Structure 1
Amino acid sequence: MDGTGQWVALRVTRLAAPLVCARPRSSAVDPTLRAALLIDLALAGALTDGLEIDTTPTGFTPADQLLTAVADEPDKPLAWWLHHAPVTARTFADALVQEGVWDADGRGPLRRYRDALPQQRSAELSRLGTALRRPPLEAGAAATALLLDQLRVPDLPHGFRGRGQAEHCGAASWLAPDLVDHLERWQEILEGSNRAAREAYLLNFL
């Protein structure tokens, strides 16, 4: 699964550029990209429905970092990693910079990112929107569409319908619905601007 086109986490990062590159960044972004990476691990066979873990390196550093973390704390539910995984949006943004897909200015917390190939992004979004109207989708594409819609990326093509794709995520179909349920609850809390509700929710994941 080498390259931007194969890893769901990188595809979602790139196609969600308006949100990932925004300053400040929405608190919904990191959990969603971590969900994408968990789906990647399931698609690669590194996570199975019985929560068996294969720690064989995938060759993708963020995936290997998360896989090692999950293996070290097997008692944690997978949804816990949406808020505690050792990877963030910057992890994936830096990977896109290394691939030459994005540009970056500055260092550390002040580093800013921008899409170096915006026309390619627009074309890929258009292809994905067309594919959604002509199912079934390949598992990685289904997961990408699902998470882009969950993030509410502002410039998705008209009629883009990623919701409902969880059951079409192939080897990750056992995992995707649960992750999306947690992401939806988190989104509702963020939109409610209720600090007490946010803290109560996160207490479940300490």
Structure 2
Amino acid sequence: MELNVSDLSVARGGVPVLAGVSLSLSPGQALVLRGPNGSGKTTLLRTIAGLQPALAGHVTGAEDRIAYAGHADGLKAMLTVTENLIFWAAVFGTRDVAQAMAAFALTPLADRLAGTLSAGQKRRLGLARLLVTGREIWVLDEPTVSLDADAVALFAGAVHAHLAAGGMALIATHIDLGLEAAVLDVSPFRVTHEATRLGASDEAFL
């Protein structure tokens, strides 16, 4: 089943930032979002992932199918690498974490507390969570931040494998991951006029 976004309008801090965004993803496809910093890519991804309400438009095909990875790694500092993945596997109803650990070269760090990891290691662990979710659609916001070249290659390999298995990926990134992916520049959808400030109902999600 496809992911479809139709005529979506989103706001940041109560102010509209993007309007009229439409996109679709089919199994095995990736779409890369581009645009300058502050253009609304994060807000768009969070809205598609269901973390904040849209101003207008519709998202279909997302129900219980999205795994979102944002700027925060979502780790528990006092749990080990293995324990963090086991925790997230239990949340999503899966069991095996060995594949996720191997995919992101985390096996040698299995017994390390997450709080003692370097920024790049934490990022790899945060991304490894994607592999234990069992979710078909990955929505990723600048996933390669803090990763060195080798780790970027590991991540790209994980995305390739996910797509080959029929998964989908929506990724905001300025890095060339070597994917056969369409590119959507959000710049034409930016709201440029001075917008009337809306209610604060969405601010709790930002």
- TM-score, structure 2 as length reference: 0.30
Question: Larger % of strand: which?
Answer: 2
Larger Cα Rg: Structure 1 or Structure 2? 2
Between the two structures, name the one with larger relative contact order (CA 8 Å, sep ≥ 6). Answer: 2
- TM-score, structure 1 as length reference: 0.30
